[in-house]
Amino acid sequence: MFRGNASRAVILALAAVFFAVLAGGAQAADRCAALSSLKLERTTLRGTLVGQDFVSPPSIYDFGAKPPAPGRAFCRVEGLVDGRSRFEVWLPDAGAWNHRLQGVGDGGMAGGVPYQALTAALRSGFATVGSNLGHESGFTESGWAIGHPELVRDWGHRATHDMTVQAKAIIQAYYGAAPRWSYFTGCSGGGRQGFMEAQRYPGDYDGIVAGDPTMDFVKLTTAGRLWMAQALMPSQPGDPGLTAAKLALAARAATAQCDRLDGVADGVIDDPRACRFDPARLACAGAERADCLSAPQIAALRKIYAGAADAQGRSLFPGYERGAEVGFNASQAVYATGFLQGMAFQDPAYDPMSFDFGRDIARIAGRDLGGETLSRAIDATDPDLSAFRRRGGKLIHYHGWNDPGVPPRRSVAYYGRVAAHEGLARTEGFYRLFMVPGLGHCQGGPGATSFEMLPALQAWVEHGQRPARVLASRLEAGRVVRTRPLCPYPQRAAWTGRGSSDKAANFACKAPVA
C-alpha cells in the first residue's frame, strides 16, 4: 500500500498516464477517421481505428482457417479506386511503425483482399496494403473479365500500382512522413504482380520478393496447365489415366533414382534437370497393376516432362519436373477453362478441348483490350529491368523445383534473359534467383522449404548486404529436423562431406561444374 504524499504522487502519476493513453487513443481515432476526408485522385476512403482483436472479413485467402487477430490496434483504411478496385491500408500506431511499407500480393485469377498477408505484415511493424485487383472472385474464375477490358487491366497491373500510390499518400497523411523504404512480397500470382511492378512501375518499390511467379500467364495457363490436364486424362476407354496412386509411384521411382545425384540421400532431387528418370522403367510386363505403369500412362508422363509442343514438335513452353509428380493434377483444366472462357475468348461456352496449341496461344495473346494486348496487360515477361536497377531497386526471386503449378525452368529462363540483357555482373548486383530443392508451389514439399526472404531483402536494400545464402528449414510436427542453405542461382548447396548432412553449416554454395 502507498502512504502519505508518496501515495498521492504515485496516484497522480498513474492518473496522468491513464488520461494520456486515453487522449492518445482519441487522437489516433481522430487522425484515422480524418483519412476518410483525404482527397486522392479517383479514390474514396474510409478510416476506422480497430482493436487488437479485430477479425478480418471472410476472404478467399482464408483457406478454411479463421484469420488470426492482428494482436495490436491499428488504423484500417478501406479504399475504392474508380468505384471497383478495392484496397486496404493497415497502419500501426506511430510508436509501433517500422517506417516501412509492405505491399502484399494475391493469387490465381482471384479477386479479394489478402487479409492474412496484411495481418502478418502489420504484426512485423509494417504499414501494409493489399488489393482485390479490381474484382471479387475465386482462384480459377475469370467470367468477370467478359466485356470488361478495364477489369483485365486492373488485374494485370493497374490495381497493384494504384494501391501502392494511394498507400504512400495515406501513410504521409497519417504519420506526417513518407515510408523510408517500400517493399512488395508475393508468391504465385503475387510473384507475377511483383515482376509487373519491377517492369512497368519501377519507382513503386525499393525491394521486391517474387516467388513461383505466374509471369508468363497466357502460356502458363494454356501450354502449361491445360497441356498437363489433357495429358492426365484417360487416352482411351477403359484407361484410368494417371491416377494419384500412379503419380505417387512415379514420384517415388524418380526420387529413388536421382536423390543421390547431389551426394546426399535426403528424399529430395536437388536439381531435377540432371535427373534422367524414364517412366518406362515402371512399365507393366502384362496387365496393368498398382505397381506399374501402362503404355498410355508412360506416354502421358513423358508428355508432361517434355512440355507443350505444336503439331510440328516445336517446343512452346517448359515441362514439369521429375520428382514433383504427386502434385500433377487434372484439376488444372478448371484453371485453364476459367481463363479461356473469360479473359481469353470471352465465351462462357468455350470448350478448352478444342484449343489449338500451335495457333491459339498467339491468337489470344494478341487480343486487343483497347490500347494494349492481353499479353501486354497480364504477362510480366519483359527482361528489361534497367529502370528498376537504376533507381536502386533490389529483387529476390525464388522458385521451388517441385512446383507442379508453374514450371520451374520458366524462372531459370527468365533470369537468363535478364542476365543477357543487363550483363551477368550487373544483374547479380540487383537481382538474385534462388531455386529451392523440394519446394512445391509456394509451400510444402519434401525439402527444407521454410524460409524468410524479406529480411535478406531488407539487409540488401538498407545496408547493401547482397544475399550470399538464405537459411531454410524443414519442419516436421513443428520441430526443425533439417536446415539447408539456399544459394543464388546458378550456385547450388554442396555438402562438405563433414558433419551431419541435416545441418546447413556443413554445406557450401558452389558454382556448377562446367
- Alpha-carbon distance of 440 to 401, in angstroms, equals 7
Q: Peptide bond before 383: cis, by omega within 30 degrees of 0? A: no
- Alpha-carbon distance of 305 to 299, in angstroms, equals 10
124 in active site: no
Q: Choose, from 135, 397, 399, 441, the residue flagged as catalytic.
A: 441
Segment holding 425, helix H or strand E: helix 424-428
Q: Choose, from 154, 204, 259, 403, the residue flagged as catalytic.
A: 403
441 in active site: yes
Q: Choose, from 131, 188, 294, 411, the residue flagged as catalytic.
A: 188
Strand partners, 99: none
Q: Work out the number of other CB atoms within 10 angstroms of the CB of residue 370.
A: 7
User: CA torsion angle for 174, 180, 185, 189 (degrees, to 10)?
Assistant: 70
User: CA torsion angle for 328, 330, 333, 335 (degrees, to 10)?
Assistant: -50
Query: Number of C-alpha atoms within 13 angstroms, CB side, residue 144?
Result: 22
- Alpha-carbon distance of 414 to 222, in angstroms, equals 18
Strand partners, 486: 470
Residue 280 C-alpha from the chain's centroid? 35
Q: Which amino acid is at 128?
A: T
- Alpha-carbon distance of 357 to 456, in angstroms, equals 40
DSSP secondary structure letter of residue 315: B
Q: Work out the number of other CB atoms within 10 angstroms of the CB of residue 369.
A: 19
Q: Is 496 helix (H, G, I), strand (E, B) or coil?
A: coil
Q: CB within 8 A of 168, min separation 6: which ones?
A: 101, 178, 179, 182
Nearest to 392 by CA among 431, 447, 342: 431
Tell me how many degrees the CA angle 97-103-104 measures, rounded to the nearest 5: 120
Q: Which amino acid is at 241?
A: G
403 in active site: yes
Residues marked active site are found at 188, 403, 441
